[in-house]
Amino acid sequence: MNLIRNRSDEILELDYAAESIFRSSSRAAASPITIRLFGGGTWSTQTSQFYAALQELNLNKNFYQIETLSCDDVNVNHYSISYIVDWLLGGTIHWITAHVHQGIQLRIINSRNAMCFTMEETIRQLQRLKYHPGFPSGDQLQCPIFLQDKIKYLRALQPEGMCNATYMVERPRSLNGRFERDAIDNIVVFLNNCSDEGCGWVVKPPFVTCGTYFRVFLCQQKLLEHLERFFMDDVECIFPYTMIQPCMSNRKEYKVVYIPSKNIQYVVSRTARCGSGASFSVRPHTRLFDFVKSAVGIFRHRCPYAITDGLFRVDVFQTKLGKLVVNEFESLDASYYSTERGDSSFVVTNFLRQYWLSKLIDIDIIKDLIQKSEPEETDVLPIRKSRRREFC
């Protein structure tokens, strides 16, 4: 999980730092400051709790203004990812409460803007926020869960075999979209080695939610044909790779919220994506929770720059042999409303307000605003008692 740094990386970092300093200095005399928020959908719990946290600071509203950008704005106006990042950098403070690409009609936007909203470009552009005040910033922008770069966070768990076996299929190098013989042979080896579940294989791209482009195959040849067709159809080159996983015999998936700092842990739902599945955990879910804690602990150790202190959800399958495996990690846009008895969702909602509050007060500019917003102490003159007139 360590980043391999080279000379070009160092030059880019200097460019990002210089850009941030230039933009900050050009606004130094401006007042009030501007907080620019990318909030994903028109409404979301994360965004509403950010607003609640900001309000709790009791800042003087003459000192700041807040501007928002939603996925709907991006879709309607066909904004590119570089435009979104430019817009965020144009504020004094940037804030992101949702995955930048979620809900955005990438194919439509790319058809108008000459392929300028791909996942590789999205990751590259977001790094420009590294030295800009706000959230996320610094190395947090490398977090594979924030970026939804699924193969990167699954690889952190692979040495312990704690995730579903996953094979990364990179975009073919040939212009006609055909795989080379070696690439096909490697895929077939993986398929043969991961056939114990007896239910075929799943093909799904990263960076997506809600089963977008999710396909199940029982036949290896049809799977290979689908892979070539997938990349050939993706003429905008949105996806740099896709993934293959064995399809689980038991389709039951447990979605578990886990917030280590508050020891909040509960089952959100027990769902079967397709087909039927047998429950493999019952209250109090001791084995399931122990597995989730262990998986998150290993991930945090291997990926220390990842954003794991906020809303965090782990989706878990059980193999045919009874082994628990992580299917996905979710964070910003994760659903956390529970269907179980003793719903703990309200605890997370309250936590999110305090979470965003703690992030806000860590920023020097916000600290200055808090200090400026405090009422000045004034000398209070003693009240004179009026003399009572005496009448003869």
pLDDT digits 0-9 by tens, 175-200? 677 899 999 999 999 999 999 999 99
- Which two three-digit tokens encode residue 282? 């019952």
Asked whether residue 111 is domain-assigned, the answer is yes
Rounded to whole angstroms, the Cα distance separating 358 from 118 reads 33
Asked whether residue 206 is domain-assigned, the answer is yes
- Which two three-digit tokens encode residue 200? 């075929």
Based on the fold, state whether residues 206 and 295 are members of the same structural domain. no
Preceding amide of 32 cis, omega within 30: yes
Based on the fold, state whether residues 287 and 216 are members of the same structural domain. no
Neighbours of 42 (CB within 10 A): 12
Full domain range(s) for residue 210: 165-246
Whole-Å CA distances, 392 to 255, 388, 389:
89, 13, 10
Span 274-293, mean pLDDT?
Answer: 89
Least confident among 107-111, 200-204, 306-310: 107-111
CATH number at residue 200: 3.30.1490
Based on the fold, state whether residues 75 and 169 are members of the same structural domain. no
Based on the fold, state whether residues 178 and 103 are members of the same structural domain. no
6-36 burial code (b ≥16 CB/10 A, e <16): eeeeeeeeeebeebbeebeeeeeeeeebebb
Asked whether residue 301 is domain-assigned, the answer is yes
Based on the fold, state whether residues 184 and 224 are members of the same structural domain. yes
- Which two three-digit tokens encode residue 243? 């993934």
Rounded to whole angstroms, the Cα distance separating 173 from 221 reads 20
Q: Is the pLDDT of residue 308 over 80?
A: yes
Split into its structural domains, the chain has a count of 3
Please report, rounded to a whole number, the percentage of residues in the chain having pLDDT higher than 70.
Answer: 85
Task: Tell me what pLDDT residue 167 has.
Answer: 98
Rounded to whole angstroms, the Cα distance separating 391 from 317 reads 94
Based on the fold, state whether residues 123 and 73 are members of the same structural domain. yes
Asked whether residue 314 is domain-assigned, the answer is yes
Based on the fold, state whether residues 242 and 258 are members of the same structural domain. no
Task: Tell me what pLDDT residue 272 has.
Answer: 63
Based on the fold, state whether residues 111 and 27 are members of the same structural domain. yes
pLDDT confidence band for 359 (50 / 70 / 90): very high
Task: Tell me what pLDDT residue 11 has.
Answer: 59
Domain boundary among 202, 229, 246: 246
Task: Tell me what pLDDT residue 15 has.
Answer: 64
Asked whether residue 386 is domain-assigned, the answer is no
Rounded to whole angstroms, the Cα distance separating 342 from 27 reads 49
Based on the fold, state whether residues 12 and 131 are members of the same structural domain. yes
Asked whether residue 156 is domain-assigned, the answer is no
Total number of residues shown for the chain: 392
CB–CB of 144/122 below 8 Å? no
CATH number at residue 41: 3.40.50
Based on the fold, state whether residues 28 and 100 are members of the same structural domain. yes
Based on the fold, state whether residues 124 and 49 are members of the same structural domain. yes
Asked whether residue 2 is domain-assigned, the answer is no
The per-residue pLDDT for range 363-383, each reduced to its tens digit, is 999 999 999 998 765 544 454
The per-residue pLDDT for range 231-261, each reduced to its tens digit, is 999 989 999 999 999 999 999 999 999 999 9
CB–CB of 63/369 below 8 Å? yes
Based on the fold, state whether residues 15 and 102 are members of the same structural domain. yes
Neighbours of 323 (CB within 10 A): 11
Q: Which amino acid is at 254?
A: Y
Rounded to whole angstroms, the Cα distance separating 323 from 316 reads 10
Q: Is the pLDDT of residue 332 over 70?
A: yes
119-135 burial code (b ≥16 CB/10 A, e <16): bebbbebbbbbbbbbbb
Global confidence as pTM: 0.87
103 φ/ψ sector (left φ>0, alpha ψ -120 to 50, else beta): left
Asked whether residue 45 is domain-assigned, the answer is yes
